[in-house]
Structure 1
Amino acid sequence: MKTVRVARISVIAFGLFVVAASATQSAEIASGIPRIVDGDTVQIGSAKIRFAGIDAPETDQVCLDAKGEKWACGVTARDELIKYSAGRSWDCDLVGSDRYGRSLGKCFIEGGDISAWMVRSGWALSFVRYSHDYDRDEEIAREANAGLWAGAFIAPWDWRHRNAATVVLGALSVPVDAQKTLLGAVSSEGAPSPDCTIKASVGHGECIYHLPGDRWYGKMRMDPGKRWFCSVGEAEAAGCRAPKS
């Protein structure tokens, strides 16, 4: 009986080893110099990668600085990531995919976690709906009034669906009418940046983008529910498509 039991344990151990080995072999890694789409989305080769565990401002997102002035925080978050990357090669561990077909991953430069840097610098938030990996980095940014935390802003996940009940985050020094100002910062005020001129309509379960010069572009009023994008890649990464005709 003792011999049979040892053999059985050995078989189980071998089975676990095979499963672990298979999991290791199936893990995907993307390496190279990325094209940075926005503060939490990049492309390396053919892989479109959304950072797992964080959420950065949308490129059409507007925030308030410490003086209560509006600024294009989404564009700035993207540009800060571009500056931090500085043309260096990345290594990304891909851990799944999202509903838009993008790979979810954690990316590193010379072993340093890029998402941790983004959150700790105040250019992104810990995406607590899905992960608490970066909660401590967010605490550090908030205590230092770094990046977005120097003024007032709406969490990216709330900005995408903002309404009168939307909560405004940020420093205590921001004006008391911050919510009214941010909720009023609708797309009709113009593109957040001269290089972000793609218009998109979101509704009825789909998002359609329009480029300058197409037949619908000039007719589209950028009222609430519309989006600005800086590139076709960014619009498609957000689940938008070109018009059919």
Structure 2
Amino acid sequence: MLRICLLIVLGLVPVAAGAQTFGGIVRVIDGDTLDVGTTRVRLHGIDAPELGQICTNPDGGTWDCGTWVAEEVRARIETRAARCQAVEADRYGRTVARCEVAGQDVGRMLVTDGLALAYRKYSMAYDLEEKAAVIAGRGLHAVLMTRPEDHRRIVREERAAKAKTEAPAPQAGCVIKGNRSGSGNRIYHMPGQADYDATVITEAKGERWFCSEAEARAAGWRRAKR
């Protein structure tokens, strides 16, 4: 006990409150996921469309609104310094946190401008901001969009339905999954990554298995971000 007290006095052991606060330079992964320094962060209380998620304009035109949101977020806060307060860790190992850039709550900014939805399942913090954005028709509220959580559920169900027809790996040890996204991007998934189990290889779509990352990259595929 004496040794622990001495370490605290000397500043070698951070107190609990300090351990929950962190900061760093921002790198945007998608609309609600950032790297803050070396920490992968899922922004608390908001939900943004997934990369490759399709929205529909009032005139019937479709577009990748998930990638659009990511680019908008990137233009606003990429390479800037953020200060975050951790809330919890999610099942993917990310730190769920509230973050500020230049004193502005990032989650509130994104919901206010219609770039993300309030994730009421986990927090009511941005409920009023979303309602105001809906009334004003800002950002995503000017188009038809499936709520991100419903989009993810639909994708999981579709992948599960296709799993029975998945092409088997050509040989033992070739377990890297080369998948084509809804927008045609070629992405490979490693065992243990977030979407590996749900990813189904359909050879008719040009999808394939790889035996090594070097082989996948040489064929023009890039590694999944999570």
TM, length-normalised to structure 1: 0.62
Residue 67 (structure 2) aligns with: 75
Structure 2 counterpart of 1:125: 117
Shift of 1:219: 1.9
1:27 matches 2:20: yes
Q: CA RMSD in A?
A: 3.1
Q: 2:41, 2:224 → 1: CA distance?
A: 12
Question: Hey, what does 1:239 align to over in structure 2?
Answer: none
Give the superposition deviation at 1:147.
1.0
In 2: Cα distance, 1:122 partner to 1:160 partner: 19
Q: Which amino acid aligns with 1:108?
A: E
Cα separation, 1, equivalents of 2:105 and 2:52: 26
Name the structure 2 match of 1:141. Answer: 133
Query: Which residue of the other structure, out of 42, 66, 76, is the alignment partner of 1:50?
Result: 42
Q: What SS does the corresponding residue of 1:32 show, helix, strand or coil?
A: strand
Is contact 2:27–2:78 with CA below 8 Å preserved after alignment?
no
**Distance 1:49-1:136 versus aligned 2 partners, 3 A rule:** same
Q: 2:186 aligns with which of 187, 197, 200?
A: 197
Map 1:38-187 to 2 at 5 A.
38-162=30-154
**1:74, CA displacement in angstroms?**
0.2
Q: Which amino acid aligns with 2:146?
A: I
Return the alpha-carbon distance in structure 2 between the equivalents of residues 138 and 102 of structure 1.
24
Displacement of 1:82 in angstroms is 0.4
* CA 119–222 in structure 1, closer or farther in 2 if over 3 Å, else same: farther
8 Å CA contact retained: 1:200, 1:208: no
Q: Distance in 2 between matches of 1:114 and 1:206?
A: 26
| Secondary structure of residue in 2 paired with 1:160 | helix
Mapped to 2, the partners of 1:73 and 1:222 lie a distance apart of 24
Distance 1:91 1:160 in 2: 29
Q: Which has the larger radius of gyration?
A: 1
Letter in 1 for 2:18: Q
Give the 3 Å change call, closer, same or farther, for CA 88–24 of structure 1 in structure 2.
same
Q: Give the superposition deviation at 1:44.
A: 2.1
Deviation digits for residues 124-149 of structure 1 (CA, Å, limit 9, x no counterpart) = 11111111001011011101111111
Offset, 1:79: 0.4
Give the ranges of 4+ consecutive aligned residues of structure 1 lying more than 6 Å apart after TM superposition: none
Aligned to 1:16: none
Percent of pairs with identical residues: 31
**Secondary structure class of the residue paired with 2:203:** coil
Q: How far is 1:43 from its partner?
A: 0.9
Contact 1:199 1:209 in 2 (8 A): no
Tell me the CA shift for residue 22 of structure 1.
Answer: 4.7
Deviation at 1:107, TM superposition (A): 0.9
User: Would you say the 8 A contact 1:34–1:42 is kept in 2?
Assistant: yes
Distance 1:231 1:107, change over 3 A: farther
1:232 aligned residue: 223
What letter matches 1:55 in structure 2?
Answer: D
Q: Number of paired residues? A: 173
Unpaired runs of 5+ in structure 1?
1-20, 164-189, 211-215, 224-229, 237-245
Give the structure 2 partner of residue 219 of structure 1.
203
**In the aligned structure 2, how far is the partner of 1:158 from the partner of 1:126?**
14
Q: Secondary structure at the match of 2:196?
A: strand
Distance in 1, Cα, partners of 2:20 & 2:25: 20
TM-score, structure 2 length as denominator?
Answer: 0.67
